[in-house]
Each structure stands twice: as structure tokens, then as C-alpha cells.
Chains A and B, each alone.
Chain A
Amino acid sequence: MADTTKEAELRQLLHKHYKYIDYKWNVVFWVTAIFVVGAAGDITKLLFAGDWDFWTDWKDRQWWPIITPFAIIIIGSALQYIQWLAWRFPTGMVYTACAMWVFATFGRWVQWGAFLDYPLNFVWPMTMVAAAVFIDWILLKTKSFVLTSVIGGMVFTIVWWMSNYVMIAPFLQPALWMDRIVTVADVQGIEYIRSQTPEYLRIVEHGSLRTFLGETTYVALAFGGVLSIAGYWIGQFIARALAIWPIGRFMQKW
């Protein structure tokens, strides 16, 4: 009986009309947060995986799928917790992905294209939107951050890889250039000068993972998936300990 009463109360509360808290607050939140979330997500990505995101000749099958999903899941995970906790929206990862997409695209177009004159087919940014839809959907279905981290972390990495491999594929075609067979991406990396970034700084597959029969991609994805789970919980820590907990303390005192 008590449960039913509580349920009815909450149902009523959900549709309660607030005089001062109307839709404008929703707009204010969603629009202003784009800048903070986009910047935080993009900066985190650039700090951990900047060069892999900048250049096609860094987007390899060993390091790119290990480093990048870990780097990009962190802020998305934090937002997933906050938006699920506060509004029960499975939107944190997609929101982060879209905000990052806008920022990264604008950044490449202005900073790398207009200012530095790099061809954009050499410096296009990755997209994490498709992977984000999957992991938000997993949260919606499981309603559990533990399950989302374990299942979602792995799925996120695989879908992220597939959706970005689609874009790198044409640049992995072989070309005969400088009397050697290299990829189109390699040609871009040498032809378009990167001042103060010598080629030996490029961290890409060098040799092969012979222990695993040379199946570099699968090993990298498995390892990347595990790292993504770790990254997911770093994001959860950021949300729980650095965002929600201080706000809760403040609200209690206030």
C-alpha cells in the first residue's frame, strides 16, 4: 500500500508544473554543457591519444585501438553516470560523442585546414558516436554500471574500431612510392611535412605479434576493450567523487 502511494506520488511529481523551473532551464543546460563536455572530452582524447587522432599514418591496427577507446570513454562514462543519476537518461556517452564531434571537426577544419593548410583527408578526427549509441543502449537495457562497464567497454571498443576502420580503409591501400610499397597514409605522412615531428616518433605497429599468429587487430581489440573498462571506471570516479559527491555535500550544507 505504501509502495503504491509512493509510486503515485512520484508519478505526480514527474508531471508537476514548476513555475520557475520550465523548459528554458533544460535548454540552458543542454546547450551550455556542450562546450564544457566537448572541451573536456576532446582535451582528454588529445592528451592520451592526440597523434593517433591527428594523422592517418598513426591510425594503425595495434596502438590506435588500444589507446583511443580508453581515452575517449572516460568523459563519456562520467556524463553517463551524471545524466542517468539525475534524469534517468541513457545519453551521457552519445552527448559526449556529439559534442566532441563538433569540437574536433571544427578544430581540424579551422586549425589544421585553414591555418596550417593540411589536407583534411590526412587529419580527420575519429568518430565515437556509433560506439556511444551502443554503450548508452547497454546502460538502458542493463540499468547497471557494472554490466555496462564490462559488456559496454568491450562492445564500445569493437564498434569504435569498426566505425573508424571504415574511414581509414581507403588510406591503407598500397601504393608504389619512393621505390617502396607503402600505404596511402604513409605517403601522406611523408609528403605533408610535420615540422618538429620526426617520423621515428610515430608509435605504430612495428613487427608483428607473433605469439598470436600475427592477428594483431584481435589482440589489440581485446586489450583495448579491457583498457576501456578501466577507462570507464576512471570516468565513474570522476563523476562520483569529483562531481556528484561535492555537489551533494554543498547541497546538504546549503
Chain B
Amino acid sequence: MLRRIGMALLLGVALLVVFAPAASAHGERAQEAFLKMRTVGWVNVEFSGGTVRVGESGADEIFIKQGEEIQLTGITTLLAAWPGTLSGGDPSTGFINVIAPGPVVLVREKTINGVSAPHRIEIEKGGLYQFDMTVAGRTVGRWHIHPSFSVKGAGTLLGPGQWVNVEAAEGYTNPVQLLNGETINLENYQLTYVWIFSTLTFIIGVGWMLHWTLLHRTVQNLAVTSQIPLNTDGMRYGLISRKDHRISNVFLIITALLVGVYFVYQLVEYPDKLPQQVVEFAPPPLELPVTAEVQGLGSFYDADTDTVSLEASVTNTGTSDIEVAQFTTSTLTFVNPDLAEPTLEQASLTLDPSGPIAPGQTATLSLTLPDERWTLDKLIPTAESQLEIVGLLVFDNGGFAEVHAPLKTEEF
């Protein structure tokens, strides 16, 4: 019977291990639609660098060696539709970064609106944040990488992703230059030093335990200790001897010496130290010309074809013709195929009527946005309290405008 149970358990674990798929997502399907669509918008997100060739998906993917760098660029913004329930409706602290399945890539450089921004930034609703991040390959494998915008009180929100393949490079290191000019390899810098000290303390502890447990009886002592007061060491009865005291003193001295010597060593070896830094500032404002006023008229989700049809009134408030180049929301980007070819991570939109809008002209546009990820990524808010599609209409001159349109559907 026991053997059967054991075999069943073993089989269960084996099945779990063998058939469990590798986790390469970042929670994009776990978040609610309103959290993804009504918070942060992404424009012109591009991955550049590396070698582009056909990958495991059958389409173009990026290939880099360990240590080789690629760049993520684009603009992200806090939407006017930001829900009042998140960050009290007034987001103030954010962190723009890269999301990947762990430290598979290294963040080497990061600027927000042209200023170096390794840490948190002060943000505001409607603010525009142009990011430029340099990322280097680290762990060999195929990884899905996104830019991310974490907002205090709301969590981490993802932008459009890209498959990046990291290939092995001989002699890979992660060099960082200290202020004193020394270059260190961050992959293993002072790891041996840390382990040696930590292990030495452990050895002293084991020695202490061996002294007390090998030279004394343990559970048998209870017969005596249960009959004597707590505040005595039992020396009168032989529980603890003067020799025990002497040996304990020696252990204490060795411990003090070890800590003292290492403490002096670090003072000598690393004389220049500073506390961990917290870089926090408000990025300089990014001004983009207002291109258009957009009014969302309505949208419809067809579950059979995974398609959203969106109708919007667009008024060209600029001085030259504009044409819709993209519609973006959360991790989805729909590209006008008349202007550019969609990449692997993008889909095509259909625009009716197509063509440019003249300055001062108002046009009612119908956008057809087919993508199975509407459903897969749970972007249709049929189970939520605000049935609305929110995103950014991006124009061919680089300008963009927020659009939110009430959603109708027959699928609940």
C-alpha cells in the first residue's frame, strides 16, 4: 500500500516536472483590463540593435550575444483616463524599467526625457516620458522583454514586448568601473570574500554546538534541570563546569577576533564607501505639438473574430496633413499597413476612410483592430464596471491623442 502511494506521488511529481511549460510571461494576463488600458499609454516603442533573423516563432526575432547591447526606446504617458481608485487618482511616483523573466538581461543605461534616471521619478497624470534604455544580454535563452512603467499605488504596467534570443559568448563578464578606476566583474565580485567570512562564522557556531552537544548529555539532563532553579548554571551538580566556561570564553575571543580583524580589513581595503543612493527627481517636461483632438464615439467587440471596431471623430488641429499610423493600448500595437509593415508583436489595423486629414478638417474614422490577444490578454473588460476601450491614436507626424470609447459587445 505504502509503495503504491509512494509510486503515485512520484508519478505525480514527475508529470508536473516533465509537462510543466516554461514560464516566460510577466503577469500581463493576470491584470484587469482597466488596469492595463486606462493607466499608461505607449507610443513608438522600438527595439533596436542585435541581429534580426527568423526565430522560434517563425518570424523575425532579435539575437544578441551575452554582453551585447540593444536599445529600447519610446514614449510612455499617464493617461487622462487614469482610474480614481489607483494611487488616489493622483499618481506621483513611478519607475520606468525593463521587465523580463528575471535577470536574463542587464539594464546598462536609462534616460527619461534625456536625463539619466536609474531609480524612481516623480510623475503626474498627462506627463510624457520619453525613455531610452540600453539592455545587454546575460542569460542564454529566448526571452520576452517589455518596457514597464511601475506606478506607486497601481503596480507594474507593461508596454509592447519583443522576443530576444541571448546566445553564449565566450569569456562573458559584466564589467563595472569603480570611482577609483578599478574595473570589477559584477557577476562574481567579492563573492569568495563574502562566503569565506560567512562560512568562518558558521564554523565557529558549529564548534560551539559540538562542544556543548558532544561533551555533555542532552535529553538526560532534564532529570536534573527540572529540579533546580532557572537562574543557575548547575555547576554544583556538574551540569556546567569551569572548563565549559573557559572554552566558551575562548570561543567568544575567537569570534571577537574574527569580526574585529575583518572589520579593520574592510576599513583598510575599502576606505571609500557611501550609503546606498536614492535617485529621485522630476524629469524635465517633454512637449509635443498637439496634433489632433479625438473623440471616441463607440466601439464593438466581436468575440468570434477577436476584433474590436472603434469609431472616433478626429479633428486635425495642426498645420499639416495627418494620418492615423497606429492605435496602441497596453501591450497591443496596431499599425496602419499603408504606412508601415507590422512587426511580429504588432497587428494591422484597417482604416475607413483611409488617407490624410487636412488641417482644420474633422473626420469620422472607423478602425478595425483584429488580434487574438484582446481575448488572451483579457483586455476586453466585460467583467468590469467600466465598459470602455482606451488607447492612443498615433499619427504619422509623431503626435498622438488619447481616445476612449464606450464598448458594446454580445459576448459576456
Q: Knowing that A87-B218, A119-B187, A163-B259 are A-B contacts, what are 7 other residue pairs whose CB atoms are under 8 Å apart, sorted by A's residue number?
A: A7-B236, A121-B191, A175-B179, A193-B106, A196-B26, A200-B150, A202-B278
Least Cβ–Cβ distance between A110 and chain B, in angstroms: 14
Instruction: Report B's interface with A, CB cutoff 8 A.
Output: 26-27, 93-95, 97-110, 116-120, 138-139, 150, 152, 155-156, 174, 176-180, 184, 186-191, 193-195, 197-198, 201-202, 204-206, 208-209, 212-213, 216-228, 230-234, 236-240, 244-245, 248-249, 251-252, 255, 258-259, 262-263, 265-266, 269-270, 272-279
Q: How far is the CB of A246 from chain B (nearest CB, A)?
A: 16
CA distance A35 to B234 in the complex (A): 29
- Chain B interface, >50% SS class: mixed
With A134-B255, A170-B189 as given contacts, are A198 and B95 in contact (CB-CB < 8 Å)?
yes
**Cα distance A20–B133 in the bound complex, in angstroms:** 69
Contact of B231 among A23, A101, A118, A144 (CB under 8 A): A144
Instruction: Mark contacts of A72-85 with chain B using CB atoms, 8 A cut-off: 1 yes-contact digit, 0 otherwise.
Output: 00000000000011
Tell me, in angstroms, the Cα distance from A190 to B174 when the chains sit together.
Answer: 13
Tally of contacts, chain A with chain B, CB under 8 A: 305
Given contacts A121-B188, A170-B190, contact A193 B97 (CB under 8 A): yes
Most B CB atoms within 10 A — which of A88, A120, A172?
Answer: A88
Q: Give the interface centre of B110, B198, B236 by most chain A CB atoms within 10 Å.
A: B198
Instruction: Given A127-B202, A132-B205, answer yes or no on A199-B273 (Cβ-Cβ < 8 Å).
Output: no
- Given known A94-B205, A166-B197, A175-B177, contact A84–B230 (CB-CB < 8 A): yes
Chain B residues near A200 (CB, 8 Å)? 93-95, 119-120, 150, 152
Interface residues of A (CB under 8 A from B): 7, 10-11, 13-16, 18, 21, 23, 25-26, 29-30, 57-61, 84-91, 94-95, 97-98, 101-102, 105, 116-121, 124-125, 127, 129-130, 132-134, 136-137, 140-141, 143-145, 159, 162-163, 165-167, 169-196, 198-200, 202, 204-206, 216
Selected contact of B233 from candidates A10, A11, A30, A140, CB within 8 Å: A140
> Which residues of chain B are near A178, meaning CB under 8 Å?
109-110, 116-118
- Which residues on the B side are within 8 Å of A172 (C-beta)? 270, 273-276
| Contact with A29, one of B95, B186, B219 (Cβ below 8 angstroms) | B219
29 A–B contacts, CB within 8 A, in A order: A10-B228, A13-B224, A16-B220, A25-B218, A57-B276, A60-B275, A61-B275, A84-B230, A85-B225, A97-B205, A98-B205, A116-B102, A121-B190, A124-B198, A127-B197, A129-B201, A130-B204, A165-B266, A167-B194, A170-B190, A170-B193, A174-B274, A182-B118, A183-B275, A191-B103, A193-B99, A193-B103, A202-B278, A204-B276
Residues in A with CB closer than 8 Å to B193 are: 167, 170
Residue in A130, A170, A196 whose beta carbon sits within 8 Å of that of B156 in the complex? A196
Query: Complex Cα distance A88/B230, Å?
Result: 9
> Known: A84-B230, A94-B208. Contact between A134 and B252, CB under 8 A?
yes
B221–A88 CB distance below 8 A: yes
A175 contacts which chain B residues (CB < 8 A)? 176-179
Contact A184/B219 with A162-B263, A167-B194, A167-B198 known, Cβ cut-off 8 Å: no
Q: Contact at A205–B276, with CB atoms within 8 Å?
A: yes
**How many angstroms from the CA of A91 to the CA of B224 in the assembled complex?**
18
